[in-house]
Structure 1
């Protein structure tokens, strides 16, 4: 068999096994028949060779037998006998080879028909499945339109009692968390590596536990004391100062546009989401830069942390802040706009909350945004986030890459952590819902204290509450001092550990730690959503103000992006046209930049490439990683009202 023939047959077999190549039935049948004909021809050649080997082998054996009959020395006779035996073995082996080749040809011919039938069946099943899913998606859209167009059966009176309103909100929340039969569930997670036992907090217990080594050292602001610090931590409303400026409390209601999601997404399985051209119908009227700024919604947690004398208490508040950033995602299933390269977003809240925030899109492929926040209340936060996303058919995985840095001015404590994976379920059919899963390690690089947080993925088989988060705060020696518990969409509490001991083994034989704690103290509580939020993209009170037009912002600010503005106003057709124009404009700029790079290479010159306007790359002295950090100048340019350096990206 020639190598090309063998390769042809093996290639077809691999194509069937892997599903990467799917030839049509006619071409596959012709290829198989041609290969079999070549195999038969080669087998005939082998048979002819075998006949010749048998003929010449028989003649050789006769000659050897005649030699044995001659009078030769004893040594020569033994050699002739050995040659005769080898000739016999050679003839037997050649016969076996021919028989094996014939068996292989019969087997290939038999299985080729079976493979052909199986391939045709799989192809028909795939076509049927695609047709079924598309029909199901169309029916789902039709039912949704019919439901929205139907008259409301139950109306809520404006004068309804407050208790009924609270009940309706609870019912709405429960309805939002219901899962249909198409939901993809995770397997039940292993129990946490620790068990918390909360002790009764009476005066006798306080005195008996005051000197235990499990305490954090008896700081004046210790949360086990009912002093001003505990009161401050119990103040979870976050309304420390009333805003001096009246900001908007609503955006135009989301139009009832329908779109066949399957017609767009069926060709995008396994691709990077940022490279897929998507209409604004799947978006919310905010950019990714504005969504990144939403991390600051519970900034008061950092204000409180800046006043903490104990670094362990400070770590608890930092952990609560890191968790709070996910609370806005529970109902936000629409995707934000992908920022254009060079797009910026500022948020000036010095009058109300004492901080300045600036984001800039520093890279387009891969998409990356740099963020810098400076607070007059004693802290600075900076991060560079790259979003990696994959569409997996039934769900969409969003993996934020990059580290978040937080430094407190007075103590010099610098905390670093990374975000967990977000998963959007029921992409094709069913009700969209979002889950967060993974682990976060927060490290105080000055004291080496750590906090380990675990976001448990939702499981139908688990008895735990959905969206559960647990964590342990430990000192530099690994001794645990606080236990954190709660959910990423509602609240987080901390409980001080007064004693720890080894418990029984878990489901995988791992030994658990039993923590005896004092009563938990609230760290963070989610703000209620504004009225009519379900018709306003489920925006929080902060999100409603993010795209509000302001004077004096940079010419590249997301508020000035025309397609996003048109979508917010409900003019989606115009927004789609404008989005295509902006994307084509960006592609033209990229092509021009690539041409300049080629010209520079041809001339032997160095080409620096695209450089962000307000951020530059620097190696972090703490982590050793290279990332984009704020280089200054933006707020000074705003003060001068000079934006001449800004590129024309809109």
Structure 2
């Protein structure tokens, strides 16, 4: 069965307006980044070695015998019972603010897809003006914030005394960010340079989140989150996308950092590549593929995750994710399994051994494990979601008007607001106006920089523009330069002093 079959039938792309999904975060191999070789079969080859291990479930009694009565395994597993059990259950926060539960239904607009896309093959899509018919009424900054939907996994992880147990929850959180993409085949709005988005949900979610668009070409957003439960997350994501004819590749670049204040455990990872298939003919469907390594830089624990690409010839389930959590000595402690659109489980390893060689001489590791425990399960979609861009409960609230936000906030973007209200013709006119205003601002910056810095320096987009709330620093863990939060936003909001904000809308 192909991905998407057995679910509600998706319309063809020219009926949908080429609704393609852009997902933040990526793990890239050199081939995946820019390869033109064998593009038609790259995601369809048989995945005979898609999983490098085999798991065998055992009982707790066998566990103690297999470990030779050391007792360490049963102690760890009891500890896991306390934290990992019920990790998938979301504690419902008590908010005094009543959030909206629906938006206007998506209108039925038709669009000649091929007339637009035939000139886009092999090009970077962020440089090509697109009508709002291709979009969902959220910006990339809001979509990046939506990755926090399952923040309770990190709230749980704070209480872990075992770093390998904590790694299981961090891995489940990293996978959960893809759970809405199986239906979300529309692209978010590419933010204006200097656009921001805040999520101030201390009361019910226990966190504050801020995103800022720090570069326009290439599109790049910086993000910082602080949770009152004892963790913080930050990232800079740069989106690269190419239309290949049969499919669209979305390759967000950048490292994601997560730090727990009490323990000092500091995790870094990158996410998988997203691919939208059957752009011209057939049913649209999206897949995630790639290998992710999550590293705890304090303990050197590691989690190797594999997003198994769908293949016509594979017996593997669609959207499958597998992984192994190992300590600093390379000893495997947990096997992770599940799918990026539904749920993830972890199983404690009690014994491992190499398997007999296969016909081609390859060995797989056999892990004997205890029964799996559910780490994360996707929330059901809201009623009528199919007519509301398949938004989740959180996504429906992200563009809700809110007082006191910065004048650069995505909620105040006029073309996006008009699109949400179903006035797409007006939205397209506003989008053209905003893009021309942005081009004019860029020309003025370049002219100013050329006068003060010289023509050579003025060729760089970044010259002449400095983000308000983030500054570029050297990331000591990755060795890359990245934009990091420098502070001041929430203080400015408290004073309602936004004099420093550019007029972008």
Residues 128-180 of structure 1 deviation map (CA, whole Å, 9 limit, x = unaligned): xxxxxxxxxxx9689999xxxxxxxxxxxxxxxxxxxxxxxxxxxxxxxxxxx
- Per the alignment, residue 497 of structure 2 pairs with 642
Given candidates 456, 467, 470, the residue that maps to 1:612 is 467
How many residues align? The count is 469
Matched, 1:531 2:383: yes
**8 Å CA contact retained: 1:141, 1:260:** no
Given candidates 573, 592, 595, the residue that maps to 2:425 is 573
Q: Report the alpha carbon displacement of residue 570 of structure 1 after superposing the two structures with TM.
A: 0.2
Matched, 1:270 2:127: no
1:507–1:393 Cα change, 3 Å:
farther
- Per the alignment, residue 302 of structure 2 pairs with 450
- Per the alignment, residue 196 of structure 1 pairs with 55
1:267–1:446 Cα change, 3 Å:
same
Instruction: Please give the secondary structure, in 2, of the residue aligned with 1:381.
Output: strand
Residues 35-71 of structure 1 deviation map (CA, whole Å, 9 limit, x = unaligned): xxxxxxxxxxxxxxxxxxxxxxxxxxxxxxxxxxxxx
- Per the alignment, residue 313 of structure 2 pairs with 461
Q: Report the alpha carbon displacement of residue 598 of structure 1 after superposing the two structures with TM.
A: 1.2
| 1:79-118 alignment runs, 5 A limit | none
Moved more, 500-509 or 242-251: 500-509
More strand by share: 2
Instruction: Please give the secondary structure, in 1, of the residue aligned with 2:183.
Output: coil
Residues 372-425 of structure 1 deviation map (CA, whole Å, 9 limit, x = unaligned): 000000100000000110000010000010000000000000000001100001
Q: Report the alpha carbon displacement of residue 212 of structure 1 after superposing the two structures with TM.
A: 6.0
CA distance in 2 between counterparts of 1:576 and 1:244 reads 36
Matched, 1:439 2:291: yes
Given candidates 468, 475, 495, the residue that maps to 2:327 is 475
Given candidates 470, 480, 484, the residue that maps to 1:629 is 484
CA distance in 2 between counterparts of 1:327 and 1:604 reads 44
- Per the alignment, residue 248 of structure 1 pairs with 100
More helix by share: 1
1:469–1:516 Cα change, 3 Å:
same
1:508–1:631 Cα change, 3 Å:
farther
- Per the alignment, residue 365 of structure 2 pairs with 513
1:540–1:142 Cα change, 3 Å:
closer
1:142–1:417 Cα change, 3 Å:
closer
CA distance in 1 between counterparts of 2:188 and 2:14 reads 25
Matched, 1:186 2:44: yes
**8 Å CA contact retained: 1:319, 1:451:** yes
Structure 1's consecutive aligned runs of 4 or more residues displaced over 6 angstroms after TM superposition are 139-145, 182-185, 603-607
Q: Which runs of 5+ in 1 are unaligned?
A: 1-138, 146-181
CA distance in 2 between counterparts of 1:321 and 1:144 reads 30
- Per the alignment, residue 52 of structure 1 pairs with none
| 1:71-82 alignment runs, 5 A limit | none
Q: CA RMSD in A?
A: 2.4
Q: Report the alpha carbon displacement of residue 461 of structure 1 after superposing the two structures with TM.
A: 1.7
Instruction: Please give the secondary structure, in 1, of the residue aligned with 2:174.
Output: helix
Instruction: Please give the secondary structure, in 1, of the residue aligned with 2:240.
Output: strand
Matched, 1:407 2:259: yes
Q: TM-score, normalised by structure 2?
A: 0.88
CA distance in 2 between counterparts of 1:429 and 1:361 reads 34
Matched, 1:377 2:236: no
1:416–1:247 Cα change, 3 Å:
same
Q: Report the alpha carbon displacement of residue 460 of structure 1 after superposing the two structures with TM.
A: 1.9
**8 Å CA contact retained: 1:320, 1:523:** yes
Instruction: Please give the secondary structure, in 2, of the residue aligned with 1:471.
Output: strand
**8 Å CA contact retained: 2:416, 2:427:** yes
CA distance in 1 between counterparts of 2:457 and 2:246 reads 49
> Which is bigger in relative contact order (C-alpha 8 A, separation at least 6)?
2
Q: TM-score, normalised by structure 1?
A: 0.69
